A and B are shown apart, each in its own frame.
Chain A
Amino acid sequence: MEKYKKYFNLIYLIAFIAMVVVAYTTSKYRPESVSVLFTDLSWLGNWPKWLDLPLMPFLNEGFDKLIKEYGMFFEGINNFLLGLYTDMKNFMVGLPWPILMISVIVLCYFVSGRNTGTTIMVAFCVFFLGFLSPRYWDKCIMTTCIVVIGMLLCLIIGIPVGILMARHKKVRNAILPILDLMQTIPSFCYLIPGILLFGLGAVPAIFAIFVYAVPPLIRLTDLGIRLVDKEVVEAAEAFGASKKQKLWGVQLPLALPNIMQGVNQCTMMSLAMVVIASMIGTRGIGDEVLLGLQQLNVGMATEAGIAIVLLAIIFDRITQSYGEKIQARTHNKKKLIL
């Protein structure tokens, strides 16, 4: 690697010149010949129209091609996710509300390690969702379903990628810039291709959730595994643990608090994204906010905003307290020895 470094600047230069040449030759506004550029210096004033990298037509073409040739593939994903979402939503909407409420409370009670404080708080939040406005109950269910499916997708892909990154430096170097890109590109930039690929509705929202929420999970999984005490990992190796035994027996259990932190982050970001996704027609609690904005109905928007906060608290408390429970088990608190 070291010996190629000195060529890097040269490569940059060549690439830059190539891009300028491409821009010049493909532009409609270029002067009749290159020699004009030297006699007529007016192009140095305002940015000349021919100095324009043709990225947009290139991307559009590529995207069209993608839809034409791999349309079936995206259709398949769409059908699968949509089916999953509709079944889940219909089931939960079909349940009488007290039963659903009680199941959330029971889930919270056991997941938080029988912590009554957390359970009571979550119970209140769940009750208030419907209490704020009866319409919200079904809409919150829709939002929850989208978030849960998005989360599952993040977990299935995010954790293995995080593990790979922790294991191989090369993979990490390759994936880190992609994660940066995913986190910094404004969400609207991939909401729109999402619509083109998956149509309106829940699936582009799930796609957007995945792009937006998977980076922190990947990062924290990677970090968690690499932060496991080196000597402990060495001990596992010294006793002849295979890679698999090392991963499942030592690295993952010890990285779990960090991974759970990643899951928690992932949930919060999913919820944030699902609200934005209401702008591309995803049904759920987010479209109440949108409606309020459009009608300049401050009360309505605020009410819906509060409902989103309550939903966020429910998600946060449940995932967080699960993480704490695991942490308490793996990092056993020091008890007094007499």
Chain B
Amino acid sequence: MSKIEIKNVYKIFGDQPSKVLPMVKDGASKEEILEKTGHTVGLDDVSLSIEEGETFVCMGLSGSGKSTLIRHINRLIDPTSGVVSVEGTNVMDLDQKQLIEFRRHKMSMVFQRFGLFPHKTVMENVGYGLEVQGQKPEERNKTAMEKIEAVGLNGFEHQYPNQLSGGMQQRVGLARALATNTDIMLMDEAFSALDPLIRSDMQKQLMDLQSELKKTIVFITHDLDESLRLGDHIGILNGGRLVQVGTPVDIIMNPADDYVAAFVKDVNRAKVIKAKIIMKSANESNGVDKKNLIKVQEDQFIEEFLPQVVCTNANCEVVDKQGNVKGYITNKELQKSLTKS
């Protein structure tokens, strides 16, 4: 069973969403609906499942419904129709009390503009999730301090959020989400408000934390590079519809439609594709010239070994962490993978 399951979710904003729903189900477009009824379609028949321990990136431009989608998971927004289930429980079945418990213990959230409490210190902010659970100050400050250290903000625990820079504030947001130790983390454009250097820094920090903690992360972004970097699976939303779900390589190599194709057109493939994806496995590659070889780790991106290949005009031998030969990459495979279709 998947950790999070979203089935046929529709969300329509307006006065009488249930009346407009049949029209949307019949396949009327977003513009038509807006013109005829004045309702806005937020999500249109979105179904996806997110497995435990993976990072699922939901990507789309602004207005594509990605922020709406993530808010369905912890029910900050109620769907017009459809089922959202987390660990097998339908979140729509929860009453007010259960919903509060559910939000306290099952998932935490990081916000685009940080959503920090300006009247609380960094430590109080980080401990907020525990505070609402009713933990005593000493206990929650201890946990908060651990998480502050984990995101590298020691020494700032008694500052107020607006005394910190944007990157630091988002670290506080991240620490706050980590503090409640929930299995699921929802990140709503968490790094979009940060400048590029700090953003890649934060991405790295998130990946490091993730490799250790193995949480289920739902990450929203409008930045393709970011989604390719972080995501185990990527879902692309356009106008409230889910156009494609797949691994980063799937998305780049086999875009489902013109919209996705236009999106991935300018991606630097060498930066995204790993050696193990384009290699020919060892038993298939008999004709490979094995005199002139470069050793390449299977998880290395093409850009990391490409310069070497160009200089020496050699073939690559792909090995795993233990050093076993997994396969080979010749210029032919490299060429194929880097050519834009």
Contact = CB atoms under 8 A, between A and B. Distances in A.
Contacts of A102: none
Contacts of B119: 253-254, 329-331
A162 to B, nearest CB: 19
Interface stretch (B126-134, B194-202, B206-214, B242-250): B126-134
B7 interface: no
A237 B163 contact: no
Interface residues on A, range: 20 to 34
B36 to A, nearest CB: 15
Interface stretch (A15-23, A238-246, A266-274, A313-321): A238-246
Contact of A330 (B74, B100, B118, B128): B118
Interface residues of B, number: 35
Nearest to A332: B160
A333 to B, nearest CB: 8
B229 interface: no
Contact of B129 (A239, A242, A330): A239
Given A239-B104, A240-B103, A231 B112 contact: yes
Interface in A294-338: 329-332, 334-335, 337
Contacts of A240: 100-105, 129, 132-133
Contacts of B103: 237-240
A242 B100 contact: yes
Interface string B114-140: 111111000000001101110000000
B292 interface: no
A329 B128 CA distance: 19
Given A2-B16, A232-B116, A237 B162 contact: no
B15 interface: yes
B3 interface: no
Most buried by B among A231, A239, A242, A329: A239
A242 B104 CA distance: 10
Contacts of B16: 2
A292 B123 CA distance: 61
B109 A239 contact: yes
A235 interface: yes
Nearest to A239: B129
A234 B115 CA distance: 8
Interface in A200-257: 229, 231-232, 234-242, 245, 249-250, 253-254
A82 B127 CA distance: 49
Contacts of A229: 113, 115
A231 B132 contact: no
A231 B186 CA distance: 14
B111 interface: yes
B76 interface: yes
A245 B103 CA distance: 14
Contact of A337 (B100, B114, B163): B163
B133 to A, nearest CB: 7
B100 A335 contact: no
A237 B104 CA distance: 9
Most buried by B among A1, A229, A240, A245: A240
A332 B163 contact: yes
Contacts of A330: 118-119
Most buried by B among A229, A232, A238, A330: A238
Contacts of A239: 103-104, 108-109, 128-129, 132, 176, 180
Contacts of B102: 240
A249 to B, nearest CB: 8
A332 B162 contact: yes
A6 to B, nearest CB: 15
B104 A234 contact: no
A2 B160 contact: no
Given A240-B104, A240-B129, A334-B162, A234 B111 contact: yes
A329 B160 CA distance: 10
B163 A250 contact: no
A239 B116 CA distance: 12
A334 B163 contact: yes
A331 B104 contact: no
Given A232-B117, A253-B119, A329-B119, A238 B163 contact: no
Most buried by A among B107, B108, B132: B132
19 contacts: A229-B115, A232-B118, A234-B111, A234-B115, A235-B116, A236-B117, A236-B132, A238-B186, A239-B180, A240-B102, A240-B129, A241-B132, A245-B132, A329-B119, A331-B119, A332-B118, A334-B163, A337-B163, A337-B164
Closest 10 CB pairs of A and B: A240-B104, A235-B115, A240-B103, A238-B109, A332-B160, A330-B119, A231-B115, A239-B129, A241-B132, A240-B100
Given A2-B15, A330-B119, 4 more contacts: A2-B16, A238-B76, A240-B102, A242-B100
